[in-house]
Amino acid sequence: MSVAAPEPGRNMGQPAPRVDARLKVTGEARYAADFPAANLAHGVLVTSSIARGSIASLDLGEAKAVAGVIEILTHDNVGSAIKPLPFGNGSATSISPLTDAKIWHDGQIIALVLADTFEAAREAAYKVKATYNAEQPSAGFGSAGAETLPAVGQAQSHKEDPAVGDAEAALRSAPTVIEVDYSTPTQHHNPIELFSTTCVWNGDQLTVYEPSQSVYGFRAMVAKQLGIDIGKVRVVSPYVGGAFGAKGSMTPRTGIVALAAKRINRPVRCVVTREQGYTTATYRAETRHHIRMGAGPDGKITGFSHEGWEVTSRPDSYVVAGTEASARLYGYGAVATKVNMVRADRNTPGYMRSPPEVPYIYALESAMDELAIALKMDPVELRRINDTMKEPIKGYPYTSRALMECFDQASAAFGWAKRNPAVGSMRDGDWLIGMGCATALYPTNVGAATARVRLSADGTVRVQTAAHDLGTGAYTVIGQMAAERLGVDLAAVTVELGDTSLPPAPVAGGSNTTASVCSTVLIACDAIRDKLFKSAGQPNQGPVKAVLEKMGSGAIEEYAEWIPPGAPPDAIKKLYQGASTLKGGLEGEKMMCAFGAEFVEVRIHARTREIRVPRIVGAFTGGRIMNTRTAHSQLMGGMIWGIGSALHEKTEIDARHARYMNRDLAEYLVPVNADVPQVDVILVPEEDAEVNPAGVKGLGEVANVGTASAIANAVFHATGRRIRDLPIRIEDLL
């Protein structure tokens, strides 16, 4: 596989290696569960073995007899000591274990065993005996008792189904119409760093060490759970070993561990097992889609209808509503959309990398291919004909949109022109060859942010902001922004992140960190320059080094706040209080999005039907690219995840018990190196001064959008078999 960082093109930063790389490979980087604490007690969770009903009794006798056991928290002794949190705004679920006996889903927390050692806590956890009043659960789509409701009116996050014109009439009169159904499965994030919480009380001050995409958000949530002031809580999360959305919203565990530490007057660490992570954190819900599309002989789409269904838990209205994106991607004529949610006895789903776009754009981009086939048209040409600089619902313009340039560059690099469009026409010995493509997009979300930057007379710079580095390179690109604006070397810059003792930054979600935080750091650095050059009586240009000598031994520190246009005026206050202030790239009167075009070759063995993806090429635009190495890694990783979505990933569920079956990395399939021989990333230069001061669009999530459809489209090209339910497996092609 080619892994070299691309040479920086126009509006791209240097491919600096990650500044934290050495700390990580030498084990010096301290992850949440690595922080030492004196007199540490260990907590192990016990989880329910039924999905619906209530706890009848808990027999703790044998568990308490294990040497070293200190205490066992259950609903009998916790109850109202923990305040249930409403769902949303940073809270992953309203399900509040240990506050009562009710069971909402399989694998719900029913006890926390505390002991002097991890081994004792684990042994005792196995010896907790629960009996239940069990009821028949509903696992999801098609299960008796699952309840289907329109999302609008229920889900806070989806106020209106995007629509324009008379889609029914357009579909009736279109000469070519397709009508198709798709589905995507449950997926789990499986970050390599396990979920964990370590709580240390010092008097009435609580410090929480937990891998987090939102330290300020977690601080607010745990304070609410415990009924204490947010000023009493500090959350520390300097390094995160993968998150993908699973560490963005707070789960009930944090408050339970904090309460446990208070009760036994000792620090407590609870590391969640891989298996427990499947049910005590969030996941990507399964979805279904019904799409209708009508087009004229010229390929112009005149009518588009997209209805989606998403599984959620009984009490929480979580939906991703990706029609917000699918309805705005092309210059359709009339549009009708609707999102439904299906309540079942499941833990509440949550954000997982490109939450709306992965399932909804998979459906759309597969349908685009089906429409191209129906029209006997090249699928790239169909996208070109329907490309638009204005979204069709309100006619709002895209600030920039180089989608077709992405298609042109990726198709040239891929060799699309050599593809024989006839289905089943390409073959190499025993291998059937298929080629497919798809569009990727991801909205440029931004949030209010703050940062403190200090320039010392010795030329060193310190940047402090409570942003998060999930392994993506945030330390590096934030440092690069400061180094560039102040004209110093990256090595002279120290960046501090992931701690509520620093000025607040947004949740590391929606791919907003680089855009929001680099914009804020830019503003702080420019304020420092202004001050410095003014006091030196010199014009503000060039590196600061020359002027620094006149500073003597002092330092200049600037604190900056950035509020994105259209954000509420109290956004900074909200940020300090831990509320989300993200503004979506598809929400305002200007559409802001990163784009991409992905081309894949699949090879399917003629007899065994083994499916391989020998190569994949993606070309992407994301405005300013801060660092071509970290951008390349994000985009390559995204496409690899897309291969997993297409061919590997699925959390199997036993419908009789509403229970996940493959709850570990041995049985939950993800691509390995042998599955991804060649992944090529092209960075298409783009400048967009409108999106934010840094000109950055964010690339964290765009690349795993569309990939699964490109592969499904290639499978069709190779075999003539249209597989509409992911993942695509050998048995689907027999």
Catalytic residues: 701
**Minimum distance, C-beta of residue 213 to ligand MOS, in the bound complex (Å):** 6
**In the structure encoding, which two tokens stand for residue 43, read together?**
């907590």
Neighbours of 134 (CB within 10 A): 16
Name the residue nearer to ligand MOS (CB basis): 245 or 473. Answer: 245
Cis peptide upstream of residue 421 (ω within 30 degrees of 0): no
Q: Are 260 and 199 in contact (CB under 8 A)?
A: yes
Footprint of ligand MOS on 466-525 (CB under 6 A): 509-510
**Minimum distance, C-beta of residue 196 to ligand MOS, in the bound complex (Å):** 18
- Residue 213 interacts with ligand MOS (CB under 6 A): yes or no: yes
**Minimum distance, C-beta of residue 703 to ligand MOS, in the bound complex (Å):** 13
Q: Are 564 and 692 in contact (CB under 8 A)?
A: yes
CA angle 588, 592, 597 (to 5 degrees): 145
Name the residue nearer to ligand MOS (CB basis): 288 or 353. Answer: 353
Task: Write the CA distances from 641 to 110, 360, 506, 706, integer angstroms.
Answer: 33, 16, 25, 11
Name the residue nearer to ligand MOS (CB basis): 528 or 582. Answer: 582
Q: Are 474 and 514 in contact (CB under 8 A)?
A: yes
Q: Which of 293, 275, 457 is nearest to 370 (CA)?
A: 293
**Minimum distance, C-beta of residue 580 to ligand MOS, in the bound complex (Å):** 11
Whole-angstrom distance, CA of residue 76 vs CA of residue 57:
10
Q: Using CB under 6 A, which of 355, 434, 622, 727 touches ligand MOS?
A: 355
| Helices and strands counted in the chain (H then E) | 17, 26
* Residue number of the CB atom closest to ligand MOS: 245
Name the residue nearer to ligand MOS (CB basis): 192 or 674. Answer: 192
Name the residue nearer to ligand MOS (CB basis): 137 or 355. Answer: 355
**Minimum distance, C-beta of residue 687 to ligand MOS, in the bound complex (Å):** 25
Cβ neighbours of residue 185 under 8 Å, at least 6 residues apart?
A: 286, 649, 650, 651, 726, 727
Name the residue nearer to ligand MOS (CB basis): 270 or 352. Answer: 352
Name the residue nearer to ligand MOS (CB basis): 212 or 713. Answer: 212
**Minimum distance, C-beta of residue 724 to ligand MOS, in the bound complex (Å):** 24
**Minimum distance, C-beta of residue 353 to ligand MOS, in the bound complex (Å):** 5
Please name the residue that has the structure tokens 């289905």.
423
Whole-angstrom distance, CA of residue 269 vs CA of residue 117:
10
Please name the residue that has the structure tokens 């791919």.
511
Q: Using CB under 6 A, which of 58, 259, 268, 352 touches ligand MOS?
A: 352
Which range, of 112-120, 223-231, 346-354, 489-497, touches ligand MOS by CB under 6 A? 346-354
Name the residue nearer to ligand MOS (CB basis): 351 or 641. Answer: 351
> What beta strand segments (E) does 272-362 contain?
287-295, 301-312, 334-343
* Structure letter (DSSP) for residue 6: P
| Buried/exposed 593-614: b ≥16 CB within 10 Å, e otherwise | bbbbbbbbbbbbeeeebebebe
CA angle 480, 486, 490 (to 5 degrees): 35
Cβ neighbours of residue 198 under 8 Å, at least 6 residues apart?
A: 32, 33, 35, 37, 40, 208, 209, 210, 257, 267, 268, 269, 270
Name the residue nearer to ligand MOS (CB basis): 244 or 668. Answer: 244
Whole-angstrom distance, CA of residue 639 vs CA of residue 641:
5
Name the residue nearer to ligand MOS (CB basis): 120 or 702. Answer: 702
Binding map of ligand MOS across residues 216-245, x = CB under 6 A, - = no contact: ----------------------------xx
**Minimum distance, C-beta of residue 702 to ligand MOS, in the bound complex (Å):** 12
Element (H, E) at 608: none
Whole-angstrom distance, CA of residue 291 vs CA of residue 36:
54
On the CB side of 14, CA atoms within 13 Å amount to: 11
On the CB side of 472, CA atoms within 13 Å amount to: 27
Name the residue nearer to ligand MOS (CB basis): 278 or 351. Answer: 351
Q: Are 223 and 582 in contact (CB under 8 A)?
A: no
Query: What string of H, E and C letters represents the secondary structure of 514-552?
Result: HHHHHHHHHHHHHHHHHHHHHHHCCCCCCCCHHHHHHHC
Question: What is the widest separation between alpha-carbon atoms in the chain?
Answer: 79
**Minimum distance, C-beta of residue 620 to ligand MOS, in the bound complex (Å):** 17
**Minimum distance, C-beta of residue 240 to ligand MOS, in the bound complex (Å):** 11
- Residue 93 interacts with ligand MOS (CB under 6 A): yes or no: no
Beta bridge partners of 596: 440, 620
Which range, of 176-184, 320-328, 349-357, 662-670, touches ligand MOS by CB under 6 A? 349-357
Binding residues for ligand MOS, rule CB under 6 A, total 10
* Backbone region of residue 327 per phi and psi (left: phi > 0; alpha: psi in -120 to 50; beta: other values): alpha
Q: Are 254 and 222 in contact (CB under 8 A)?
A: yes
**Minimum distance, C-beta of residue 247 to ligand MOS, in the bound complex (Å):** 8
Whole-angstrom distance, CA of residue 651 vs CA of residue 726:
11
Footprint of ligand MOS on 244-263 (CB under 6 A): 244-245, 248
**Minimum distance, C-beta of residue 446 to ligand MOS, in the bound complex (Å):** 13
**Minimum distance, C-beta of residue 447 to ligand MOS, in the bound complex (Å):** 11
Which range, of 172-180, 348-356, 366-374, 386-394, touches ligand MOS by CB under 6 A? 348-356
- Residue 15 interacts with ligand MOS (CB under 6 A): yes or no: no
Whole-angstrom distance, CA of residue 710 vs CA of residue 410:
13
Name the residue nearer to ligand MOS (CB basis): 244 or 318. Answer: 244
Q: Are 718 and 434 in contact (CB under 8 A)?
A: yes
- Residue 109 interacts with ligand MOS (CB under 6 A): yes or no: no
Which range, of 216-224, 347-355, 421-429, 514-522, touches ligand MOS by CB under 6 A? 347-355
Q: Using CB under 6 A, which of 218, 351, 442, 475 touches ligand MOS?
A: 351
Whole-angstrom distance, CA of residue 716 vs CA of residue 370:
9
Element (H, E) at 383: helix 379-385
Name the residue nearer to ligand MOS (CB basis): 138 or 249. Answer: 249
Q: Using CB under 6 A, which of 353, 419, 452, 529 touches ligand MOS?
A: 353
Task: List residues binding ligand MOS (CB under 6 A).
Answer: 213, 244-245, 248, 351-353, 355, 509-510
